[in-house]
Structure formats: C-alpha cells, structure tokens
Structure 1
Amino acid sequence: MVSDSNRLVAGRYQLLRELGRGGMGVVWEGRDTLLHRQVAIKEVLLPDGLSPGDRERQLLRTAREARTAAKLNHPNVVAVYDVVEEGGRPWIVMELVSHPSVEQVVLTSGALPVREAADLGKQVLSALRAAHQVGILHRDVKPSNILLGDDGRAVLMDFGIATVEGDASLTRTGMVTGSPSFLAPERVRAENAGPESDLWSLGATLYACMVGRSPFERGDPMATLNALLNEEPDYRRIPPAMHPILKGLLRKEPQDRVDAEEADRLLSAILASRPAHDDLDVPERRKRGKSGGPGRALLAAAATVVLVLTGGAVAYFRTASPAEGAPRASTQPAAATGSITPSATPTVTATPTPTPTPSVTRVAPAVRAWTSRDGWSIMRPTGWRGARGEAYTHWTRRDGNAHLGVQALYVDLTPGEIIVTEQENLAQTAQDVVNRGRRTVTHQGVKAVEWEFSWTAGEENEQRWVRPGARYREVRRALVVGDTAYVLSWTVAERQWPRNRALMRQVIGSFTVAP
C-alpha cells in the first residue's frame, strides 16, 4: 500500500494526494510528468493470499480493462490513458474528472428533478450505446460509477468488470460480479448477458436517482437478489413522467425490455415536455448545492426517507391582478361646501353644488383558485408571485414578507413523523427557533399535524425570498392523501402575523387533493 504522496509510479506518474479508497483500490490525484497534465491514478489492490495463478489472472484482467476502455472515445466516458505495473500491483492512469458521483449528489442534495434525471439517463445511455457498438458491456452501471459535473455533464467510469463480447471470461466459474442492487436478473441466473443487462442497470440507476436507492435494495445481499428476481419495483414514489422509461427498462426478461433506441426516445420525450422549471439551470443548482424547496436535506438525514423535490429550479408565472391582497371598496361620497358668517348664532348658507355620480373600484378577491397539474388545488393569495418546480410550488407576496408553499413528498411517513423531520431540518439553517405549538387537526376529512413556530433567518438559507436576519412566524401542516404526503407552509414577517392570520387559515384550509 502506497501511503505517501510525491512518489513516482513507473518512473512517470507522480502521486499527489489520495482522492478515495474502496475495497478494490485507491484513487489518487496525480501528474503525468512526461506530458505535464493532471491525471487520476487507480491503484488496484490485490487481495492477500492470492496464488501466483490468481495474481496473474488479476493482472491480465486489469490490462484487459485498459484495452477495453481505450477503445472508447466518448464525452460521457472517463478516458483511460495507460496501465502499468509497480510493486506487484496494477495501476490505471485515467482522465481526472473532479466531480461527485450521482450517489453522492443524491445523498447530500436529495433526489434529482425529473428532467435532470432524464438528461443524465440520456448521457449514460449514449455512452453505453457507444460501448455496445464496439462489443463492450459495462456490467456495473450504478450511481457511484457515474460522475455529475456542475455543467450537467455525466461521465460513466470504472469499466473494471467490463467484458468484450467474444473474449474468454477471466472470472471464476459461477462468480457473479457487480453490485447486487443493480444487477440484471439474467446475470443473477448466470444466463448469457448482453447489452440489455446494462440497460436494466441504467433503469435501476434512474430509479435510485428518484428515491435514493435501488428498487430492489433490501439491506441484505440475498434478500436483495431474491427481490430482484421475484418482486416488481414500487413506483408509488416515482413521479409519473418517469414511469414509462423505468417500466420499459426494468422488465425481468431481457427480450421484453425496451432497446436503446426506444429508451432514448422515451427520455427525449421527458425532456421535450413542458419544462417544470427554467429559473435556475443545472449548473446554478449545483453551485448552490441545495434545493429551492425546504427539506431536500431530508434524504441525506435519513436514507429511508425519500423525497422528490424541485432541486431549486422553478418556472415563474404571474397572476393577473397587481394587488397584494384584497383592496377595499371605495366610493366617492357627495361633497358639500358651506360658508360660515361670523355671528353669535352661526347660520349656514348652502351653496348648491353638483352631486357627483359615485364611482366604485372593482373589488379584487383576496384569493384565487389554483389547480396543480398533479391534481391538487388551493386558494392562493391574489397578486402573489408564483413559482413551480417538480414537486414544490410556492408563492411570494410582492414585498417579500409573506410566503406560501406546497410541497409533495413521496414518502412512507405519518404526518407526525414528517413534522419531526421538518423540525430537524429547520434547525440546520434557522436561528432562535421558538416552538409555538404542535397540534393534530382534521384537514378535509384527513388527519393532519400542524406546527407553528417563529425563527430568524441565518446568513445561509436555501430560500431566495428569505432575508438574512429577518424574523418570521410560520405554520407548517403535514397530511397524507393516498400515496403522497404534502407539507403546506405559510410564512410571514413576525410583526405582520396578527393581521395575516385570517387569510392564512382561509388559504391553508382550502388545500384539496382530487380523488
């Protein structure tokens, strides 16, 4: 094991610092001293106790990996430059791509928005198609093997167990390689595996982008493999737009799966549909590292809790009325003028003046009905500016001191559990939180839990309408209807809370989910 940096490998590649470590090796940031470029160097660790024959087999396999990857020249594939042997171990020299893996992105930032997941799927599919055209199967497509850059570029890496059609297998008979959660059923059954197996793994990867884990992950390898062979994925937590592509890729029998061309068409259809957001692009969301909706860190806090949130990207829409609230009706009263004569007993002499015709300003309603394309509706305040994301819709009053949000969560949690998680998340960004009560209420015939509190906005906050240092008062109400949970939030500058309470109750109470 190399533990110190600045060592030269094969007299050419300088190790600078360790980037990551796993069961199969260590990845270093390095420098090619001959070509003067930064590289990534994978130090392949061979298990202790290998026989000379097994060690030779591993070296051959590593050399084959380099030959395999060297055949691919594709923008969505990590390029392999060289493979050398040093200290009895193989070292693979690769393109240095300084991006987090999709697994890391989902764990830290939450589930990908639908269109971002579809774009990632198209890029990985393009890489796989290029590999398949030259007879290469990846065999280990999964979130941890896909890097995702700030510019949205997805890069497939680690062809370490890739096979070339026609080559003899270098693995032991009966040995299944790859990550169990993302293996295709035919590979588990030790049947012939072709390009369809990589497409299955792509489907499982896209599912994980939505909910944070493989559709068959059960926490135990054998239970996972059993689920993979005998159970169907649970699509209740998946946004409907992703159902066709996932159901097409995750069919048990390879001959029943959609092929690469049809998969590309289905992914393109998602991207061509009406955008759910255009306010922030993918690079800006990556820079922020947080979602525009509250609670995207929920998935990072508890891997079993799965959210499908906006990711911070929204499309703005404006309401017709410029009013901030409900303007008062005003009438112009009849006017009278009088002259007063100075006397002990004043007398008033009326001067006739024309009586103007009363004019009435049209009364704008305080709220207007708004129906989501996902089937829920709410009476939102008139004149507030609205924004919509994948599963988070919100409105902000024009002065920025009041905010309404509706968040959809694809989770198996009770309203009380959701509120507890909301409290934990708030503590990470807010200051001086004062709990003003938590109660169980009935909302449209459904049990809900409501939490009222005050808080001060910190300097770091994922909500763009929030002003650092400002003091707010808020109500959040959580309820579950069918397979979807909803969190309704109403936030107002604390000093304005009393005069906004009635409107808040009217708006929150109007939320309805269509049958």
Structure 2
Amino acid sequence: MEHAQSAGTAAGLLLAGRYRLTESIGRGGMGKVWRAQDEVLHRTVAVKELTAGLYVSEADRTVLHARTQKEARAAARISHPNVVTVHDVLEYDGRPWIVMQYVDGSSLADAAKESGRIEPAEAARIGLHVLGALRAAHAAGVLHRDVKPGNVLLASDGRVLLTDFGIAAIEGDSTITRTGELVGSIDYLAPERVRGGDPGPASDLWSLGATLYTAVEGSSPFRRTSPLSTMQAVVTEEHPPLPHAGALEPVISALLRKEPEQRPPADEAERMLLEAMEGRRPRAAQAYVPTQSVDPEERRAATALLTGSTSVPVPATSAPKRSGGVRRALVVAVLAATVGGAAGFLALRYGNSGADPVADDTRSSASSGASPGASGPAPKPADEEKWQRVRDPEGFSLLVPVGWTRQRDGDQIDYTPDNGRRLIRISIDPTPDFENPFMHMLDVEKTVRKRLPEYKRVRLDQNTFRDQEKSALWEFTWTETKNNAGERRAIDQVYFGDDGTEYALYMSSPAEEWATTRQRFDKMVQSFQPPAG
C-alpha cells in the first residue's frame, strides 16, 4: 500500500506542541532540515523532516522509520562536544522527525565549495575534531558509516560537529540494511564496504581521509561519472595527487590505504593530524605509506606533476623491460644508466636483451670522460632551465634541457647530461607482449622488486594518457650500491598508441633532486611527439 502524500510542510508548523518550524536550512535526498524554535525551553533547534517517507511504499517507509529511530539511538549513545546532540524524536503526519542541536554555520562541503579549498592547517584542525567524534562513537559501539563533507558541520564560533548517524551501525542492534544494499555516499565508502565486507572503525577513518582530501583539494578523490565506475575507483585506484595538502598529505594518504589493517589506528591518526595542524609533516605516516620515504618538496613536486597530462603514476627507474626492443631499452637505461651494476643487468636480462648493461654504462661513461658517480652541479628548477626540441633519428621528438645529449646502446635511446645519473629514456615497442601497459608493468615489477636494493613502489596504476585508456604510470625508489650510489627515484609513463605501439617515457635521478626531476618529467611527457604515420 502506498502512503498518502501530504501537503508540503510549511514554516510556522508546530510539532508536538512545542517545536515551531521557522526556516528550511538544508535539503538532501532523504529529506530536509528546518531551523525551529523550542517554545518550551526557548531555544533554537534543528528539526530533520523525512520527506522521502511521503512517496515510498509501506515497506520502504518502515525501513526509513527504523533508520530514523536508529539515528537517534546512535547519537544518544555518544556524549561528545563534536557530535550533534539529539534532543527528541517525535512522530507527525505518519513520519518520524528528529529534533537536534542547532549549529549556526555551514557544512564542510559548502565551505569547500565556496572557497575552492580549505587550507591544510585548518583541514587538519577539522579532521582532529571529527576524529574525536569518531573515537567517542567507536568507544560507544557505534560506527558512523557515512562520514563525508556534508555531514561535518562548521559552527561560526569555530566548533566542528559530526552529524547524521542515520545509517550508523550500533553494536548489539540488528541491521536494517537489506541484503545486497549499499548505503552511504559511494565515493566516501571504504573499499572493504564496497567489496561487501564488514565495516569496522578503520572504515570510518578511510571516509575521514576521503573527506579531508575533498577539503584540501576541492574535489572528491574517487568520484567518477557513474556509481559503478566510482565503486571501481574506490576499490582499485589510488587517490589522485595532493598538490595542495602540505603537511597533511601523508596523513590523508595513510588513511586512504586500501586495506583496513594498513591504516593507522585512531590514536596514531590523532597524533599525525596534530602535527599537520602545527605545520609539521608527520614522520609516523611513513610507516603506513611507502611513498613517504621522500621529503616534502619531492612529494609535492611529484603530486603536482600527476595533476597534469600524466594523471596517474607509473614506475620509472627500474621499470621492467618487456620482450620488445625499444621498451627494453627504457627499463635497461633506467637501470643501467641510473642504477648501474646488478640492477642494470637485471633490466637487460628481464628484457631478453643480449646487451650487458654494466658494460654499456661503463663504455658510455668512458667515452664522455665523466665519472659515473660524479654528481655535478645542483640542477636548476625546470622552469628556470633552457629547453630545446630534439628530433630523434627514430622519428619521435621531445623537449630536453639544453646540454642533455643523445646516447644509444643497442635499443636504448637516452638523453642525459652526465652519462645517466640524470636520465630521460624513451622506449618504443611496435609489438608489445602484454594486453596493456599496466599488466606489463606489474609483471616487470615482480622481478625488479627482488633485484633492486630497497625497492619501494611509490605508485603503479592504470591511467588515461592522451585519451588512451591503455596507459600506466609507475613510480618507484631504490638504493643503488654501485654506480651512482645512493637513493634514486624514477617514473615511467607507458601507453599504447592508436596502432598498438607501446611507448614508454621514463626519467630518473638522485632522490634528493626529485622536485626538479618531477617538473622536468612533466614537461618532457607533455612535449613528446611519437613518430609520424
């Protein structure tokens, strides 16, 4: 049976003989929120009206009623200054209404939309308060399950409050979620929830990480064009870079780890947020995010690049070779010219090349008269360098810094100013052996991980490069112990052209120069033009 529709609720309505509605102050998919006056206690309150209950079947209306009652019970369990207080639950017009604490201010979603972005220190402060609310909820046996910017309220006096426990899970209560039903805002749901697993406190922390990402970057990290593609992004894709997050960046990255056990616990996250609020980059985040082995400037530069044409990261330095000729060159060059020694040997072996990378690297260094380990002068920022377009004999062209010269051993095509300590490598394979670059890089990484000293993946993801969906970005670090000894970092953008040719655009350098190298890489890949025809 369908519930009869009611006339629209209007200002002036008196509920339960005491709550008089004065003004609608918010609206969502399930209903609207009113500012109201409690005429008994003479205070302003907020009243949530479930308008959705007017237009659904009896069975659905029963579920909505149950959820409303559950929201009130969940909030009532929690006594914390950062949780919106529920004053009363009443029934009117066959629907439940919730009377809550009134917060004079806006939601985090509205604040971020209005200003474009929230400053990192302020976002960290907000995150601390929300985390405090979540810790209190979890201690009371309540999982919020719908943490998102729209449910974080920013009071005009500086207070931060978490609201809307409408889909909360209460320890000891039976569920009111139907089999197969996924509740909550999809782009803020933790991966384990999207996969159908049981949520825990770590699931709320993931949602907090996504909320903070939206605050500092101005957009949801995983929202796509459809619910299905959004869910896929939540489960399989790493979050986009965080060029505006400052000291908060590693904290957000730690909270957004795909597996619950890989995320920091609430007490550790609290310490991280406190440090970030004070403008200090939390060292503890390195234990949760492998990518944090680099310093802040390097990381910011890397993320800035990823917001350009190469929106998704791909490993660079020790990129494994495939059995195609030019592609092998890329990985070998990365390993041989920049890593040297055993790593270079591995790259050539993995790429089925008959060349000896160590010998090639030695010959290249000797021919130029430069020592492979010489560091040379500190590089200038990419935007202060002079660049020139070179047209390679293989038919492609690209911009390189003035002073970088072409070197080739077999299939390897490199541009370097110092025999590979700083290196651009271009590889072209007209007959790739893998279905797509991502699968290729995953396969290569298996071998590279075993052979490169202290190998650490920064990112290895599918991305879209120049409208080609068959693309991947691989970024990694390792510690070289022989030629060019020290910590190194590399990045590799790999993509299939329209004709199926695989192109790999690779760059590597000492890790301490990564801020400049990342800028150079961005400029290089944007300028690359494949062979005509």
Q: TM-score, normalised by structure 2?
A: 0.52
Partner letter of residue 154 of structure 2? L
SS of structure 2 residue aligned to 1:100:
strand
Equivalence for 1:264: 270
Give aligned-pair identity as a percent.
Answer: 47
Deviations 1:225-246 (A, max 9, x none): 0011111112252435223212
Is the CA contact 2:143–2:200 (under 8 Å) kept in the aligned structure 1? yes
Alignment partner of 1:221 is 2:162: no
Who wins on radius of gyration, i.e. which is larger? 1
Which residue of 157, 182, 188 maps to 2:188?
182
Separation in structure 1 between the aligned mates of residue 279 and residue 55 of structure 2, nearest angstrom: 56
Deviations 1:58-96 (A, max 9, x none): 222211211111122211111110110100111110111
Runs of at least 5 residues in structure 2 that lack an aligned partner in the other structure: 1-6, 282-295, 310-382, 389-514, 518-533
* Cα gap change, 1:190 to 1:274, in 2 (>3 Å): closer
1:152: how far off? 2.9
Q: Write the mapping of 1:64-463 to structure 2, written as runs, cut at 5 A.
A: 64-273=70-279, 374=297, 412=307, 444-445=385-386
Partner letter of residue 61 of structure 2? R
Separation in structure 2 between the aligned mates of residue 57 and residue 23 of structure 1, nearest angstrom: 15
Which residue of 20, 28, 33 maps to 1:27?
33
Which residue of 18, 37, 42 maps to 1:36?
42
1:215: how far off? 1.4
Separation in structure 1 between the aligned mates of residue 191 and residue 129 of structure 2, nearest angstrom: 24
Separation in structure 2 between the aligned mates of residue 446 and residue 258 of structure 1, nearest angstrom: 44
Which has more helix, going by share of residues?
2
Separation in structure 2 between the aligned mates of residue 121 and residue 21 of structure 1, nearest angstrom: 24
1:54: how far off? 3.3
Equivalence for 2:412: none
Deviations 1:338-364 (A, max 9, x none): xxxxxxxxxxxxxxxxxxxxxxxxxxx
Q: What count of residue pairs does the alignment treat as equivalent?
A: 300
Partner letter of residue 445 of structure 1? K
Partner letter of residue 111 of structure 1? R
Is the CA contact 2:120–2:246 (under 8 Å) kept in the aligned structure 1? no
Is the CA contact 1:238–1:410 (under 8 Å) kept in the aligned structure 2? no
Equivalence for 2:374: none
Separation in structure 2 between the aligned mates of residue 218 and residue 154 of structure 1, nearest angstrom: 28
Is the CA contact 1:113–1:210 (under 8 Å) kept in the aligned structure 2? yes
* Cα gap change, 1:49 to 1:514, in 2 (>3 Å): closer
Greater RCO (CA < 8 Å, at least 6 residues apart) = 2
Is the CA contact 1:46–1:89 (under 8 Å) kept in the aligned structure 2? no
Separation in structure 2 between the aligned mates of residue 198 and residue 209 of structure 1, nearest angstrom: 16
* Cα gap change, 1:234 to 1:140, in 2 (>3 Å): same
Separation in structure 2 between the aligned mates of residue 204 and residue 112 of structure 1, nearest angstrom: 14
1:186: how far off? 1.0
Separation in structure 1 between the aligned mates of residue 305 and residue 217 of structure 2, nearest angstrom: 8
1:514: how far off? 4.7
Q: Write the mapping of 1:471-510 to structure 2, written as runs, cut at 5 A.
A: none
Separation in structure 2 between the aligned mates of residue 52 and residue 102 of structure 1, nearest angstrom: 34
* Cα gap change, 1:3 to 1:53, in 2 (>3 Å): closer
Alignment partner of 1:5 is 2:5: no
Partner letter of residue 171 of structure 1? T
* Cα gap change, 1:104 to 1:445, in 2 (>3 Å): farther
Partner letter of residue 232 of structure 2? N
